Structure 1
Amino acid sequence: MKKKKILIKIYSILFFLIGKLPKNQKKIMFESYLGKQYSCNPRAIFEYLNREDSHYQYEMIWSVNKKYEKVFKELGLKYSSRFSISWLWNMATAKYWVTNSRLPLWLPKPKSTMYIQTWHGTPLKKLANDMEEVHMPGTTTEKYKQNFTKESSKWDILISPNKYSTNIFRSAFKYRQSILETGYPRNDILSSGNTESHINEIKKQLNIEKEKKIILYAPTWRDDSYFMKGSYKFNLELDLKLLKEQLGDTAVILLRMHYLVTQNFNLKEYEGFVLNVTNYPDIRDLYLISDMLITDYSSVFFDFAILKKPIVFFVYDIENYRDKLRGFYFNIEKLAPGSIVKTNIELIKEIKKSLQNPLWKNNYENFHNEYCNLEDGNATKRVVENLFSRTK
């Protein structure tokens, strides 16, 4: 621990000194979920700039956690391993940082660097300074809020998916700088990629038969269930045995854990029925191929609602989550764009109903108008045209 603190101090000083050098105006550093994924809003912005290369011509480099380099190597993407010497140099000399989660607190942002924070979801659960108590390991409520505010003070631009989120971000992050309310770049693909050929291609990659119904289970994490700081457990309350009995060979369940959950699940007896897609590069493809979503308090339902497909909320611990662990920004039980269930029996009933008759149900239209009104397939274009200079 002592050696780690000394090393961080040295890194911080080196970064500060290199950060004094003139910035490469055409260099952008991208990072998604602490360097673990090639996904989300940073990916959408990266791919847009790549497609429009003749107009923008930026040098684009990904910041990658060493354990997750494989995907970036396979895709032939330019990257630097987090905390390596090359990473230190690239981060300190880049004009732009584009990330969807927090960077290390010890990292000093050079004055002339533009830090673009895209964040990673429309919030139901309370965030940062809006939380009454923090139950995460290695911190206290006061310390957590102080650190979050210190980090958000470095952001130059924050991307917001809708007016509702803009208001919350101001409060939760104590953020006073510029907000671009554009819709989320990551959701553009839900318009442009929602084609039969693209969906069949993804199914083929995942070895899923075309005729099978696909159910995506994507829950959030629990602040007080962990192995250590930054490494969380998840208690899988889905009764997979019962689901398999009831759904047989007609469906496939895709299991997608939150990026902070590091637990492994033994799914051997459910081979062919349950597919763990936690390490699949980007959840956007999973939205497109899924016939329905099961979630809890995760922001995924705001994105999935764009597709106007059935959503079921499996909220077996809602009292504890709402009243103790986090709290919500609105009453999900009244306003959810889908059915609320607390038991596996109720869940199976709703799954069968939704798969047989996937109608746009109560609250869906109002919900879509309120939270998805900017998701028209052009959010990335709006972000890029606002923030990046075209080559003359």
Structure 2
Amino acid sequence: MPVKKETVLFESFNGKDVSDNPLAIYKQLLSDDPGARNRCYFSVKPSEYRKLSELYPDIQFVKRFTPGWVKYIARADFWVMNSRMPKWWKKNSQTTFIQTWHGTPLKKLGVDIANVEIPGSTTAEYHQEFVDEAARWDYLIAPNQYSHDIFKSAFKYAGRFLDIGYPRNDVLYSENTPEKIATIKQKLFGFQPKQVVMYAPTWRDDSFSEKGQYKFNLPFDLNEFFKRVSPDTMLVIRPHYLVKDRIDISGYEDRVRIFADVDINQLYLITDLLITDYSSVMFDFANLERPMLFYPYDLIHYRDQLRGFYFDYNQDNLPGPMAQSTDEFYQDLKDYTDHGSFTDFSTNLEAFNRKFCSWENGQASEKVSQLILQGGKRNE
């Protein structure tokens, strides 16, 4: 079947949301060519269709894996997605697949994972799925040279790279102003907190009680946390969507917010201190050159047994202090509160930014938009 020229099908996180790199590219495409709105579609899970249609009334949605979806996915000129497509769906040979991916990797990916701890999948099956999927990509976006090299190896990718930075991070340059930040705070909190600390832990593959039932335990005490930060501090918790309803903040509802569905770039912009562990949020947040605190309380298990890392994860290489016990964590919090930054890590932060953010300049979305408008691979 011939493709319908200039039609674009977008998808974020297997249709669970409208976000990340695909949304940034969609917005830029419509800015560059308002008429593209009638040729662009977002593929979403049927269970999310009503909610997303209400949130984004101007976007055209198609329900994933329905008969109506087939006529769009089969004949789209471009696919723009940030995760894998099911192996059973065969891509039209005339369709250009732009894979944006969704993060700079610290943890092992694809065939580099020696032991996969995912219910219902063997390690060999998982590896082969990645290789087969990557073979379908016509373009793969890389945010930095480090990621470019890893993607090539972990996905066994032999296609074309777009070495341009992540489109989703463009707003960290265009909207990093006091006025924009105040607007976001007002929308999310209803007031203007003087300080925002965000805790954004990584997803743990083995954190489940049974298949499909995941768990989450906050690795620090909220009472102790608030003893060590200024009284005008709000704590934002950014969990994985599978555990967002399993976090107990009883008694602290006025000082803690759980934002699992808010655009994380909006959270970055209002965050004064990021607390994380092994999450790729560290690489995106580094664009803002603000303080980070690392709390890898299960480092030995995670690094050596669960996923493995691509680089030496230690205090010498990180852009902020690393606490491995609650005592160290609380002390680092106090140090931040006393000084407003981690002065001993300013050099680390600068080096980290050079390595992982050097390709980021706020123009990635524009480059992908122009690629689409110029017909992609047909005009190379």
With the length of structure 2 as denominator, give the TM-score of the two structures.
0.92
> Greater shift after overlay, 366-375 or 204-213?
204-213
Partner of 2:137: 155
Return closer, same or farther for 1:57/1:240 CA change in 2, 3 Å cut-off.
Answer: closer
Q: Which residue of 1 aligns with 2:303?
A: 322
Q: Supply the distance in 1 between the matched residues of 2:151 and 2:241 (Cα, whole angstroms).
A: 21
Please, what is the CA RMSD of the aligned residues? 1.9
Change in CA separation of 1:275 and 1:90 when aligned onto 2, cut-off 3 Å: same
Of the candidates 280, 296, 302, which is equivalent to residue 299 of structure 1?
280
Kindly state the Cα deviation for residue 351 of structure 1 after the two structures are TM-superposed: 2.4
Q: What's the counterpart of residue 94 of structure 1?
A: 76
Partner SS state of residue 189, structure 2 = coil
- Aligned-partner residue type, residue 357 of structure 1: G
Gap regions ≥5 residues in structure 1: 1-20
The change in CA–CA distance for 1:388 and 1:256 in structure 2 (over 3 A counts) is: same
Which of 174, 177, 180 lines up with 1:198 in the alignment?
Answer: 180
The amino acid of 1:95's aligned partner reads D
1:46 pairs with one of 14, 26, 44? 26
Partner Cα distance (2:38, 2:159) in 1: 25
Q: Larger deviation: 253-262 or 180-189? A: 253-262
Q: Pick one of 339, 349, 370 that aligns with 2:355.
A: 370
CA drift of 1:303 comes to: 0.4
Quick one: structure 1 residues 57 and 236, their matched pair in 2 at CA, closer, same or farther if it must change by over 3 Å? closer
Match runs of 1:88-237 below 5 Å: 88-207=70-189, 209-226=191-208, 232-237=214-219
SS at match of 1:28: strand
Q: Secondary structure at the match of 1:278?
A: coil
CA drift of 1:86 comes to 1.9
Between stretches 229-238 and 333-342, larger displacement belongs to 229-238
Question: Is this contact kept in 2: 1:115–1:154, CA < 8 A?
Answer: yes
Task: Output the CA distance in 1 between the equivalents of 2:159 and 2:220.
Answer: 42
Secondary structure of 1:270's match? coil
Q: CA offsets per residue over residues 174-229 of structure 1, 9 Å max, x none?
A: 11111111111110100000011111111111125324310111111111122555
Equivalent position amino acid for 2:300 in 1: E
SS in structure 1 opposite 2:74? Answer: helix
**Counterpart AA for 2:136:** K
In the aligned structure 2, how far is the partner of 1:196 from the partner of 1:30?
32
Aligned counterpart, 2:312: 331
**Residues 98 and 150 of structure 1, relative CA distance in 2, 3 Å threshold:** same
Q: Could you say if the C-alpha distance between residues 380 and 100 of structure 1 is closer, same or farther in structure 2, counting changes exceeding 3 Å?
A: same
Which whole-Å CA distance do the structure 2 matches of 1:243 and 1:344 have between them? Answer: 10
- SS of corresponding position for 1:339: coil
3-state secondary structure, aligned to 2:336: helix
| Counterpart residue type for residue 234 of structure 1 | F
Q: Does 1:344 align with 2:329?
A: no
The 3 A distance-change label for structure 1 pair 312 and 257 is same
Q: 2:52 — aligned with what?
A: 71
Change (3 A) 1:214 1:302: same
What is the identity, as a one-letter code, of the residue corresponding to 1:384?
S
Residue in 2 aligned with 1:35? 15
Aligned to 1:13: none
Residue aligning to 1:357? 340
| Distance apart, 1:274 and its partner CA | 1.2
Q: 2:25 touches 2:167 (CA, 8 Å); kept in 1?
A: yes
TM-score by length of 1: 0.89
2-side partners of 1:368 and 1:206: how far apart?
A: 28
TM-superposed deviation, 1:155? 1.1
Shift of 1:54: 4.8
Q: Which residue of 1 is the match for residue 374 of structure 2? A: 389
User: Identity of paired residues, percent?
Assistant: 42
SS in 1 for 2:197: strand
Distance in 2, Cα, partners of 1:345 & 1:189:
36
Q: Distance in 1 between matches of 2:68 and 2:96?
A: 19
